[in-house]
Amino acid sequence: MSDVPILLEMRSITKEFPGVKALSDVNLVVRAGEIHAICGENGAGKSTLMKVLSGVYPHGSYDGKIIYQGSESKFSDIRASENAGIVIIHQELALIPGMSIAENIFLGNEPRKRGAIDWKAANRMALDLMARVGLEEDPDTLIKDIGVGKQQLVEIAKAFAKDVKLLILDEPTAALNEADSRHLLDLLRGFRSRGITSIMISHKLNEIEAIADQITILRDGRTVETLDVKADGVDEDRIVRGMVGRELSSRFPDHTPKIGDVFFEVRNWNVRHPISADRQVCKNESFVVRRGEIVGFAGLMGAGRTELAMSVFGRSYGVYESGTIIKDGKEIVLKSVADAIDNGLAYVSEDRKAIGLNLLDDIKSSTVAAKLSKISHHGVLSEVEEYQAAEAYRKELRTKAPTVDESVSKLSGGNQQKVVLAKWMFTDPDLLILDEPTRGIDVGAKYEIYGIIQRLADQGKGVVVISSELPELIGLCDRIYTVFEGAITGEIARADATPETLMKQMTSTKKLATR
């Protein structure tokens, strides 16, 4: 590879924030035409490094040199780096939902004719760019009317509109389903064959293994190593070792389940969509949970798993139609979230930043937020008890934060998730519903979260895990339900669960009973 010219070299990059050294002496060498993956646990400094590169942190706010296309670059802002052909596509897509595909592609970069936007040319060029990324849509379609996968493609098309030389993708497949992910990876391979260089940040090690030429691993703000995938014979375990600095013998902690009797049951659950009343999002679904049991829910994106969980959790989604909930042999009616909490239910949402946490809060107030009555005396909150509760969970869950006064917005994804777990453990639930509990969380933290989930089950609680990662469900759960288009299509015991059997039932309406 060494004969290929170097496109980008970042030399001894050091970036400090007040009180924290986010990057120290980081080096990165990217050669023209390769796909270069950057791996590391959350908080390892990947995003900061990309922000330095793209000018979000302007020249002068960091130490070190960026050498791009043979000369030193001093980007003062994003615009400067984009003019040089470096385009970054963030995990949170920067598209305007109410505008069309073409409008989004050319936003801020509109083709003009005599001062006015030339929409004819724009649409023509948009079609051309869309073809290059394999997106078949009318350029006049609004962004909000297309799926996340296609939105991702629009973002890439937008990058091409700016004459990209170095494409940076931050967690590009995090929100995509299998098919869309595969399409995106194929696309990246296509770019490589056309000489476009890509940098990809991802937690999905299998994808990295499959697509990357070079892998640079960061840990705690330092470069650990750069691996050549082919030459070094890199596999997932090798990457994990680099990331966590030790060998992870197993991705899941050892666990012997202690399963008791059925204590929670949902029968014939029917829920309609909150806006379009003719759409049924839960179709006569029934399931049971036993004490000490970890129950998985597998399904494709949009299968209705989150909708099921939230509608059970105090009708916090959709319009309830019919169905009963039975807990400890008695029917309970949960009309509000408060009812659900009082009846020992807890729901850890899939999107912690949008709906799981108040990012303005600190750890201690987040921890007690769902059950303030527990630290109140005659309506007055006890600061001391709040602190003690939060501190106890911080220690128990090993949340990495200097004190519980730290703002949750400053924590890494894994630690935020621990705070959310603490918040719900604090409510003393009998049944915990965890929706995508490890999304966006790095390998080391995942292992810890699995451990926490197993401990909760061992305490005699029921745990429901919703996940899009089949290996996770298979590794963690004692029993797995499959969901397809709002209906439960199967129930598979741990022993029988393989990705193939799950996938088959996740994609068909035929009801198979394996037990």
Partner 1 sequence: MSRIKDLQKNLFGGTTSNARQFGMIFTLVAIVVLFQILTDGLTLRSDNLIALFQQNSYILILAIGMLMVIVAGHIDLSVGSVAAFAGILVAKSMADWSLPWPVAILFGLAIGAIIGAWQGFWVAYIGVPAFIVTLAGMLLFRGGNQYIGNANTIPVPEGFREIGSGFLPEFGPNTGYNNATLLLGLAAAVAVVWREIQARKTRRAMDADPAPMWISILRMAIMVGVIAFAALRFASGRVGTSFPISGIILLVLVIAYSFYTRNTAGGRHIYAVGGNSRAAELSGVKLKRVNFFVMMNMSVLAALAGMIFVARSAASGPQDGNGWELDAIAAVFIGGAAVSGGIGTISGSIVGGLVMAVLNNGLQLMGVGTDRVQIIKGLVLLLAVAIDVYNKSQGRFSIIGSLMRPFRRDDSAPPASPPDAEREPAKAAVSG
Q: Which stretch binds partner 1 (CB under 8 A): 212-220, 278-286, 339-347, 500-508?
A: 339-347
Beta bridge partners of 16: 21
Give the DSSP H or E segment for 390.
helix 383-397
- Is residue 60 near partner 1 by the rule CB under 8 A? no
Give the DSSP H or E segment for 113.
strand 112-113
HEC readout, 117-161:
ECHHHHHHHHHHHHHHCCCCCCCCCEHHHCCHHHHHHHHHHHHHH
Nearer to partner 1 (CB atom), residue 123 or residue 343:
343
Q: How far is the CB of 401 from partner 1 (least distance, A)?
A: 9
Nearer to partner 1 (CB atom), residue 231 or residue 360:
360
Q: How far apart are CA 38 and CA 52, in angstroms?
A: 14
Q: Which stretch binds partner 1 (CB under 8 A): 115-123, 265-273, 355-363, 492-500?
A: 355-363
Nearer to partner 1 (CB atom), residue 110 or residue 391:
391
Within residues 397-436, the interface with partner 1 by CB under 8 A covers 402-403, 405-407, 410, 423
DSSP states along 424-443: HHTT--SEEEEESTTTT--H
Nearer to partner 1 (CB atom), residue 287 or residue 313:
313
Q: Which stretch binds partner 1 (CB under 8 A): 212-220, 284-292, 327-335, 379-387?
A: 379-387
* Full strand arrangement of the beta sheet holding 462-466: 345-348, 431-435, 462-466, 294-299, 479-484, 487-493, 512-513
| Residue from 359, 444, 475, 503 in contact with partner 1 (CB under 8 A) | 359
Within residues 72-111, the interface with partner 1 by CB under 8 A covers none
Q: How far is the CB of 488 from partner 1 (least distance, A)?
A: 23
Nearer to partner 1 (CB atom), residue 339 or residue 469:
339
Q: Which stretch binds partner 1 (CB under 8 A): 168-176, 364-372, 455-463, 473-481?
A: 364-372
- Is residue 355 near partner 1 by the rule CB under 8 A? yes
- Is residue 360 near partner 1 by the rule CB under 8 A? yes
- Is residue 333 near partner 1 by the rule CB under 8 A? no
- Is residue 341 near partner 1 by the rule CB under 8 A? yes
| Residue from 116, 275, 354, 513 in contact with partner 1 (CB under 8 A) | 354
Q: How far is the CB of 150 from partner 1 (least distance, A)?
A: 25
- Is residue 221 near partner 1 by the rule CB under 8 A? no
* Contact (CB, 8 A) for 265 and 325: yes
| Residue from 356, 414, 437, 462 in contact with partner 1 (CB under 8 A) | 356
Rounded to 5 degrees, φ, ψ at 300 are: -75, 165
- Is residue 497 near partner 1 by the rule CB under 8 A? no
Q: Which stretch binds partner 1 (CB under 8 A): 64-72, 180-188, 387-395, 491-499?
A: 387-395
In the shown chain, the binding pattern of residues 305 to 324 toward partner 1, with x for contact by CB under 8 A and - for none, equals --------xx-x--------
To which residue do tokens 């050549």 refer? 228
Within residues 433-492, the interface with partner 1 by CB under 8 A covers none
For residue 375 the two structure tokens come to: 């630290």
| Residue from 369, 396, 451, 504 in contact with partner 1 (CB under 8 A) | 369
Q: How far is the CB of 337 from partner 1 (least distance, A)?
A: 5
Question: Please, what is the angle between helix 148-161 and helix 178-193, to 10°?
Answer: 20
HEC readout, 178-217:
HHHHHHHHHHHHHHHHCCCEEEEECCCHHHHHHHCCEEEE
| Residue from 324, 373, 459, 509 in contact with partner 1 (CB under 8 A) | 373
Nearer to partner 1 (CB atom), residue 241 or residue 410:
410
| Residue from 361, 396, 469, 485 in contact with partner 1 (CB under 8 A) | 361
Q: How far is the CB of 354 from partner 1 (least distance, A)?
A: 7
Beta bridge partners of 214: 36, 228
**Total residues at the site for partner 1 (CB under 8 A)?**
43
Choose among 411, 487, 415, 418: nearest CA to 456: 418
Strands (E), 333-414: 345-348, 376-377, 380-381
Q: How far apart are CA 170 and CA 77, in angstroms?
A: 18
| Residue from 48, 365, 438, 482 in contact with partner 1 (CB under 8 A) | 365
Measured between its terminal Cα atoms, the distance across the chain in Å is 54
- Is residue 1 near partner 1 by the rule CB under 8 A? no
Q: How far is the CB of 357 from partner 1 (least distance, A)?
A: 6
Question: Please, what is the angle between helix 148-161 and helix 119-132, to 10°?
Answer: 110
Nearer to partner 1 (CB atom), residue 138 or residue 405:
405
The residues, ordered by sequence, that sit 6+ positions from 208 with a Cβ below 8 Å of its Cβ are: 37, 39, 200, 202, 215, 239
Within residues 287-306, the interface with partner 1 by CB under 8 A covers none
Q: How far apart are CA 142 and CA 322, in angstroms?
A: 35
* Contact (CB, 8 A) for 107 and 98: no
For residue 67 the two structure tokens come to: 């050498």
- Is residue 19 near partner 1 by the rule CB under 8 A? yes
- Residue 11: is it exposed, middle or buried by C-beta count within 10 angstroms (0-12/13-18/19+)? middle
Nearer to partner 1 (CB atom), residue 407 or residue 514:
407
Chain positions contacting partner 1, by CB under 8 A? 17-19, 313-314, 316, 336-338, 340-341, 347, 349, 354-361, 365, 369-373, 376, 379-381, 383-384, 387-388, 391, 402-403, 405-407, 410, 423
